[in-house]
Amino acid sequence: MLFEPKTVILKDGKACLLRSPVSDDAIPMLHYLKTTAGETDFLLRYPEECTETAEAEIAFLNKVNDSNDSMMIVAIVDGELAGNCRISYHTRIKTAHRAVIGIALMQKFWGQGIGTALFHELVRAAKEHGTTQLELQFIEGNLRGRRLYEKMGFQIVAETPNAIRLKDGTLLKEYTMVKAL
């Protein structure tokens, strides 16, 4: 699915363009994925696990854009890919009322309102799609993320102990949150 481009003004007064990804975003996306994976333990992979090729990333971005059950939004600030989010709609009859979302931002763009803007667009898109329940997961210790999710109306409904194992052997819980629309 494609997202209608939109510009939002951030807390620092800069403009942030929200739009669907395009093929030219493949190389910046690969850099973004590797960078964000190295900035926090709260994403599901390490930088060295970000091994996609530009061709594979282009194919993935095109697949999402052409999909009827998924949409990605990228956030561009001063020409730089600052973050992205994705919504994936369930398609089976019994679960078609649900969608799963994910979001990440480059650390230097934290606290500027990009995450909130992206969440507002995900909620709007979900409602337009007929979705009545949004779901997400976050990793124990991600207090910034948790505050954002709770601000957006999500509530913890489950936890999975020992869901994440860091390189140093630390085990972390994964929480599932739900928001009724």
CA distance 9 to 7: 7
Q: Classify residue 120 as exposed, middle or buried by CB count within 10 Å of its CB (0-12, 13-18, 19+).
A: middle
pTM: 0.95
CA distance 114 to 78: 13
* pLDDT of 179: 98
Domain 6-180 falls in which CATH fold? Aminopeptidase (3.40.630)
pLDDT tens digit string along 43-86? 999 999 998 999 999 999 999 999 999 999 999 999 999 999 99
pLDDT tens digit string along 1-34? 999 999 999 999 999 999 999 999 999 999 999 9
* pLDDT of 165: 97
As a whole number of Å, the end-to-end CA separation of the chain is 20
What are the domain boundaries of the chain?
Answer: 6-180
DSSP code, position 157: E
* pLDDT of 177: 98
Which residue is it, tokens 């403009």? Answer: 15
Q: Is 43 strand, coil or helix? A: coil
